């Protein structure tokens, strides 16, 4: 039973389109994340979200927006896709302690490879 | 978060121990050290974490120096499937805007050779 699942695994779309990537975790974690891994293989955090607050990496364009219908889901919506958005996007989840420290491991999904043409 | 420094690459013979070093000289007293790895085309995978004491689990051992300025991840009997990029991370320890966020550096590319 997959702990963190993302769909779709591959996504090819044209510039200017709007697309969404779904993420679900069945671990009961209270915090979910989105990471972007570019062609140089650098993993960069985009968002972290729990039921209290959304933390946004200031370098993320506002075309990207996370939406959480419930604690088990954090979907990533991308508007007006650009060529530079091509990357692998990873969703993750973890549990934050009351002190805000991640004291259990984060689980990552298998990634969504987005190609913008 | 504390900056970590790792060698860009290492080789290890299959069946031998792989010792991956990490420097985190600016780590604060309440910041844990986490190790993750990413096997090609897969999502990152948690390996182990620790604060002060050495830790061991079914995957690896983590040795943290007494001054906590560096640590070593040990894979006791490396296999070909351990070939991956290994990341040493020290996320912020205090509750704040980026609490708990795992900030990945460049990591160490470990190649296990037959």
Residues near B89 by beta carbon (within 8 Å), at least 6 away in sequence: B1, B4, B33, B34, B35, B36, B102, B103, B104, B105
Minimal CA separation from B31 to chain A, in Å: 8
Q: CB–CB of B32 and A42 under 8 A?
A: no
CA distances from B62 to A34, A92, B26 (A): 27, 23, 18
The rounded radius of gyration (Å) of the Cα atoms in chain A is 14
Question: B95 falls in which pLDDT band (50, 70, 90)?
Answer: very low
- Testing the interface with A: which of B100, B104, B107 to mutate, by most A Cβ within 10 A? B100
Most A-contacting residue of B101, B105, B107, B108 (CB-CB within 10 A), to test interface: B101
Distance CA A8, CA A113 (A): 8
Give the per-residue pLDDT at B79.
97
Report the phi/psi class of residue B81: left, alpha or beta, with left for phi > 0 and alpha for psi in -120 to 50. alpha
User: Is the pLDDT reported for residue A110 higher than 80?
Assistant: yes
Poorest-pLDDT segment among A26-35, A42-51, B65-74 = A42-51
Within an 8 Å CB–CB cutoff, is residue B34 touching chain A?
yes
A contacts of B100 (beta carbons < 8 Å): 31, 48, 94, 96, 100-102
- Please state, rounded to an integer, the average pLDDT across all residues of chain A: 90
- Identify the bridge partners of residue A108 per DSSP, sorted by sequence position: A92
Compare A96 and B22 and report the one with higher pLDDT: B22
| pLDDT for the residue numbered A1 | 66
B13 shares contact with chain A (CB less than 8 Å): no
Could you give the C-alpha distances from B77 to B13, B39, B56, in angstroms and in order? Answer: 9, 17, 14
pLDDT at B93: 57
- Output the six-digit token pair for B17: 């121990």
Q: Taking 80 as the threshold, does the pLDDT of residue A100 lie above it?
A: no
Give the closest residue to B113 by CA, choosing from B84, B85, B83, B89.
B83
The share of chain B scoring above pLDDT 70, in percent, equals 90
Closest CA to B87 of B111, B62, B105: B105
What B60-67 contacts at long range (C-beta under 8 Å, 24+ apart), as own/partner pairs, is: B60/B35, B62/B33, B62/B35, B64/B33
Residue A27 CA to residue A3 CA, distance in Å, equals 6
How much is the pLDDT for A109?
97
**Cβ of A106 and B46 within 8 Å?**
yes
- Does the structure show a pLDDT above 50 at B98? no
Question: Taking CB atoms and an 8 Å limit, are A96 and B100 in contact across chains?
Answer: yes
Please, what is the average pLDDT of chain B?
89
Q: Which among B85, B98, B106 has CB closest to A55? A: B98
pLDDT-derived band at B96, boundaries 50, 70, 90 = very low
Distance (Å, rounded) from C-alpha B15 to C-alpha A68? 45
Q: How confident is the model at residue A53 (pLDDT cuts 50, 70, 90)?
A: confident
| Mean pLDDT to the nearest integer, A6-28 | 97
The pLDDT score that the predictor gives to residue A59 is 85
Residue A40: pLDDT above 80?
A: yes
CB contact under 8 A, A108 and B41: no
């Amino acid at each position: 039973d997959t702990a963190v699942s993302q769909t779709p695994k591959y996504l090819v779309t044209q510039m200017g389109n709007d697309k969404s990537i779904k993420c679900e975790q069945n671990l009961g974690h209270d915090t979910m994340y989105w990471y972007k891994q570019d062609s140089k293989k650098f993993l960069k955090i985009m968002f972290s979200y729990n039921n209290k607050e959304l933390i946004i990496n200031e370098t993320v364009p506002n075309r990207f927006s996370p939406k959480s219908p419930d604690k088990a889901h954090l979907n990533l919506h991308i508007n007006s896709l650009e060529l530079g958005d091509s990357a692998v996007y990873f969703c993750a989840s973890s549990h934050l302690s009351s002190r805000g420290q991640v004291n259990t491991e984060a689980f990552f999904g298998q990634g969504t490879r987005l190609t913008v043409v | 978060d504390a900056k970590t420094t790792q060698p860009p690459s290492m080789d290890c013979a299959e069946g031998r121990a792989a010792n991956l070093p990490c420097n985190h000289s600016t780590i604060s007293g309440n910041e844990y050290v986490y190790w993750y790895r990413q096997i090609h085309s897969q999502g990152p995978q948690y390996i182990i974490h620790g604060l002060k004491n050495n830790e061991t689990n079914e995957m690896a051992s983590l040795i943290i120096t007494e001054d906590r300025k560096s640590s070593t991840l040990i894979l006791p009997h490396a296999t070909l499937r351990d070939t991956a990029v290994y990341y040493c991370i020290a996320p912020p320890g205090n509750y704040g805007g980026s609490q708990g966020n795992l900030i990945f550096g460049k990591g160490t590319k470990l190649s296990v050779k037959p």
